[in-house]
Structure 1
Amino acid sequence: MLTNLLLSLSLLFGCQRASMPGKTYAVVIGISDYQALTYTTGDLRFADRDAQQVATFLRSKAGGSVSNANIRLLTNRQATQETIQQALTLFRQAGPTDRVILYFSGHGLPDSFVPYDARPGDERKLLTYRVIKAAFHESNAKTKLCIADACMSGGITRQKTKRSALATNEPDGSNVAMMLASRSTQRAVEDGRLAGGAFTYFLLKGLTGQGDVDGNGIVTIRELHKYVSPQVKKRTKGQQTPIFYGRFSDELPLSYL
Structure 2
Amino acid sequence: MTNMLVRCLVIFVAWVVSHTAVAQGQTYAVIIGISDYEALTYRSGDLRFADRDARQMVTFLRSKQGGNVPVSHIRLLTNRQATRANIQRALTVFQQAKAGDRVILYFSGHGLSDSFVPFDVKANSVTSLLTHRDIKSAFHASKATTKLCVADACMSGGMTRPQADSKIVARTLAGRVSDGSNVAMLLASRSTESAVEARRLEGGVFTHYLLQGLNGRADHNADGIVSIRELHQYVSPLVRKMTRGRQAPVFYGRFSDNLALAYL
Instruction: Give yes or no for contact 1:17–1:218 (8 Å, CA) kept in 2.
Output: no
> What is the number of residues matched between the two proteins?
252
- 1:49-101 per-residue CA deviation (whole Å, 9 max, x = no partner) reads 00000000000000000000000000000000000000000000000100000
Question: Residue in 2 aligned with 1:165?
Answer: 169
Q: Distance in 2 between matches of 1:237 and 1:59?
A: 33
Q: Distance in 2 between matches of 1:174 and 1:155?
A: 23
Tell which deviates more after alignment, 117-126 or 31-40: 117-126
Q: Once the two structures are aligned, what percentage of the paired residues are identical?
A: 62
Question: Residue in 2 aligned with 1:233?
Answer: 240
Task: Structure 2: state its 5+ residue gaps.
Answer: none
Task: Structure 1: state its 5+ residue gaps.
Answer: none
Question: Residue in 2 aligned with 1:156?
Answer: 159
TM-score, normalization: structure 2? 0.91
Q: Distance in 2 between matches of 1:160 and 1:107?
A: 20
Shift of 1:121: 1.9
Question: Residue in 2 aligned with 1:144?
Answer: 147
Find the residue that maps to 2:185 and give its secondary structure: strand
Question: Residue in 2 aligned with 1:30?
Answer: 33
Q: Distance in 2 between matches of 1:95 and 1:120?
A: 38
Distance 1:13 1:250, change over 3 A: closer
Distance 1:142 1:13, change over 3 A: closer
Higher helix share: 2
Question: Residue in 2 aligned with 1:59?
Answer: 62
Q: Distance in 1 between matches of 2:234 and 2:103?
A: 23
Shift of 1:164: 3.9
Shift of 1:15: 4.2
Shift of 1:168: 3.3
Q: Distance in 1 between matches of 2:33 and 2:220?
A: 29
Q: 1:69 aligns with which of 65, 72, 90?
A: 72
Query: Residues 1-257 of structure 1 correspond to what in structure 2 (within 5 A)?
Result: 15-18=16-19, 20=22, 21-161=24-164, 162-165=166-169, 167-170=172-175, 172-257=179-264
Instruction: Give yes or no for contact 1:17–1:256 (8 Å, CA) kept in 2.
Output: no
The code of the aligned residue for 2:75 comes to R
Superposed structure 1 runs of 4+ greater than 3 Å apart? 8-19, 166-172
Shift of 1:119: 1.8
Q: Distance in 1 between matches of 2:12 and 2:174?
A: 39
TM-score, normalization: structure 1? 0.93
